[in-house]
Structure 1
Amino acid sequence: MEKFTLELLFHIIGIGAASGLIYKDNSLFVIGDNSGFLYEYHIDSQDLKRHPLIENPSENILKKEKPDFEALTHFQDSLYIFGSGSTPKRNAMVEFDLAQKKKTDTKNLTNLYEVMQNFSSIKPEDFNIEGVIFEGENWYFFNRGNGISNKNTLFKLHAKKLDQEFSMTSIDYKLPKIKGVRTSFTDAVLVDNKIYFLATAEDTQSTYHDGEVLGSIIGRIDIETMKIDFTKKISDSHKFEGLTVYKNDNKTIELLLCEDKDTEILETTIYKLSLNLK
């Protein structure tokens, strides 16, 4: 994969610090890592709705108090929203029913996150889930390696539900550097038998404190071999944190990306990334 185009698609006023998105039925479902809402944006009408995910939800929640919703995935009529696990207050998974348009369940993933840390020898201060995929039989969790140990780890859990017994495997990836700083996973999406992932270089050694953004890459992992097919730098300045499929005709795939600008401004920019697959 050599050719790509990246273009600004539209702005959404009312959403800040976007960290995950799903495109479905000409609407975007978006989460922000400092917000207690799931946002539903209708592209044609430009209408924006807010769905509460926590009690007494608000926008621009204080850093030490926020649930830090960083990962968003969906299967059939359910959305699953995940806290990053980077502090004890960030261990929730919220299930949202797309038909009823409401939250239906909240689970505490503290025990699961501890098992993942122990299984892959990740220290709590280096644990930071930023992407999750669910395809009905397996869950894929992406640990962002922006801590001191640079543990970019992909966990695969074989289970239909996360409160059931499961088998687990994990693999560590050494992702490319940008300007001397190692990139780290920020989101991923499954397309056929390939995982497309985003990774960003941020000049920090903390899963908690932000640093200077040095750019982002797109990459692809073969789900059978779990090896990386390719990586490609797509920006020198953007911190892309959300990824969803827009169109796919097997020759070109179009992905929508959202950017976390690490500010309190309630404005989000959606980009379209087109990849030539031939």
Structure 2
Amino acid sequence: MYNKIVAALFAFGSINMAHADDQSDLYLQLGHPVLETELSSASGLVADGNKLYAVGDDSPWLFTLNKQLNIKDKYVIKEYPLREDGKRIQKSVKPDYEAMAMVEYELEDWFLVLGSGSKAEVREWAYMISKDQSQSIESDLSALYAQLYAAGGFYGDQELNIEGLAIAKDKAFIFNRGNSGGNLIFILDKAELVAYVTNQIQQVSKIDTYKVTLPTVQGFEAGLSGGEFWTDAESLVYTASVEATGDAYNDGEILGSFIGLLPLEAFEEGTDIDLTQGAVPLLDYYGKPIITKVESVAITKSDDDDIKGVLVSDNDNGTSEFFKFRLFK
């Protein structure tokens, strides 16, 4: 069903090849990691012109970075008690910002930031922030997340773990990381999602749910972690990472990360989507997995068969890593 992906990974200035079973070739060129110590636990990333905007899952700020991946500014999304390091929110109250995208609201571009939903009340909040950062709107996601919980067939102690958000045409794609209930993609009407997070409606009218299967590493299935819409290719660019953990609250040992493509037409073929053969691992020069937890992807330039962008990773230690990449056919 899906294209074979051949990845040329330019790690540490050298080329390494990874292969997946398919009919066409796709190449990934990966740059050196850029360590950022001020931005902890990066989890959401948006590109706009020559700037990047990022959030961390335990950081109270929306960060602005330049094209050299240097932080130039930061905006307080909401005040929270911080740890002794002065940059990380105390875990018991962290809102767990995990997904971010740019949406249009009242004819202007706004950043939409979603909490993961992995802890009731504390992580069930959304923030709409105007691009000039002069306005913000807070909204309670508990009712929407209850709808997602039901639509995803969750039960018992299983928890949502919303990790990614991609906007494509008139749809919003919400990615659930499968470490406590399965890798799922929820599709909502974009206008309804915006209406919900701007407190105009109390529920959305329809949610379509798709179950995604990803590769395993040491017995642990990769979990969806981010997504972006590649307009020219009519596809979602997704990221996934592998942690040795079985719940949505605690971190586990990082085992590696993947990137791949998901054509929009795949959603017309059924509710089960198998990405085990199309996911490209991030490898070093020696062909070994780069031990990094990729959390989000942003496209900075694109055409029909070539995109450039940035991947961002959460190191689970108060730092983050950025990787410039090129994905081309």
TM-score normalised by length of structure 2: 0.77
1:268 aligns to 2:320 (yes or no) = yes
Task: Please tell me whether Structure 1 or Structure 2 has the larger radius of gyration of its CA atoms.
Answer: 2
Tell me if structure 2 keeps the 8 A contact 1:83–1:91. yes
Between the aligned residues of both structures, percent identity stands at 25
RMSD: 2.0
- The superposition leaves residues 151-182 of structure 1 with CA deviations (integer Å, 9 ceiling, x where unpaired) of 10000012403324432110101111123211
Distance, in Å, in 2 between the alignment partners of 1:261 and 1:44 is 20
Task: Give the C-alpha shift of residue 33 in structure 1.
Answer: 0.4
Give 3-state SS (helix, strand or coil) of 1:243's partner: strand
Instruction: Quote the residue 2:229 is aligned against.
Output: 190
Matched with 2:125 is 92
Mapping for residues 37-76 of structure 1, pairs under 5 Å: 37-43=61-67, 46-56=70-80, 58=82, 59-76=87-104
Cα deviation for residue 136 of structure 1 reads 5.8
Superposition pairs for residues 169-188 of structure 1, below 5 Å?
169-188=208-227
- Is 1:157 aligned to residue 188 of structure 2? yes
Pair 1:257 & 2:311 matched: yes
Number of the residue aligned with 1:80: 112
- SS for the counterpart of 2:192 is coil
TM-score, length basis structure 1: 0.90
Cα 1:5/1:42, change in 2 over 3 Å: closer
3-state secondary structure, aligned to 1:21: strand
- Partner deviation per Cα, 1:197-239 (whole Å, 9 max, x = no partner): 1111110001011111111111211112225672211242110
Distance in 1 separating the partners of 2:134 and 2:218 = 43
Checking the alignment, whether the CA contact within 8 Å between 1:159 and 1:166 is kept in structure 2 is no
Q: Counterparts of 1:269 and 1:238 in 2: how far apart (Å)?
A: 8
Contact in 1 for aligned 2:99/2:163 (Cα 8 Å): yes
| Structure 2 SS opposite 1:30 | strand
State the shift of 1:39 in Å.
Answer: 0.6
1:221 aligns with 2:273: no
Consecutive unaligned residues in structure 2, runs of 5 or more: 7-26, 268-272, 284-288
C-alpha separation in 2, matches of 1:45 and 1:139: 27
On the 8 A contact 2:186/2:210 being kept in 1, the answer is yes
Tell me whether 1:143 sits opposite 2:184 in the alignment: no
> Structure 1's 212 and 46: CA in aligned 2 closer, same or farther, altered over 3 A?
closer
Quickly say closer, same or farther: Cα 1:249–1:168, change in 2 above 3 A.
same
Amino acid at match of 2:167: F
- Cα distance, 1:107–1:197 mapped onto 2, change above 3 Å: same
Asked if the contact 1:35–1:57 (Cα under 8 Å) also holds between the matched residues in 2, the reply is no
The 3 A distance-change label for structure 1 pair 28 and 248 is: same
Alignment size in residue pairs: 272
8 Å CA contact 2:60, 2:77 repeated in 1: yes
Unaligned runs of 5+ in 1: none
Question: Equivalents in 1 of 2:69, 2:145: separation in Å?
Answer: 39
* SS of match in other structure, 1:126: coil
Q: How far 1:13 moved relative to its partner?
A: 4.3
Q: Distance in 1 between matches of 2:69 and 2:228?
A: 26
Q: Please show how residues 193-204 of structure 1 align to structure 2 within 5 Å.
A: 193-204=234-245
The match for 2:40 is 16
Name the CA shift for 1:176/1:116 in 2 (closer, same or farther; >3 Å).
same
Q: Give 3-state SS (helix, strand or coil) of 1:64's partner.
A: helix
CA contact 2:257–2:294 (8 Å) conserved in 1: yes
Contact 2:58–2:96 (CA under 8 A) maintained in structure 1: yes
* Pairwise CA distance, 1:45: 9.6
**Distance in structure 1 (CA, Å) of the matches to 2:305 and 2:316:** 35
Q: Do the aligned residues in 2 keep the contact of 1:51 with 1:102 (CA within 8 Å)?
A: no
**Counterparts of 1:68 and 1:23 in 2: how far apart (Å)?**
21
Which of 291, 302, 317 lines up with 1:248 in the alignment?
A: 302
More divergent stretch after superposition (3-12 vs 112-121): 3-12
Residue pair 1:71, 1:82 contacting (<8 A) in 2 also: yes
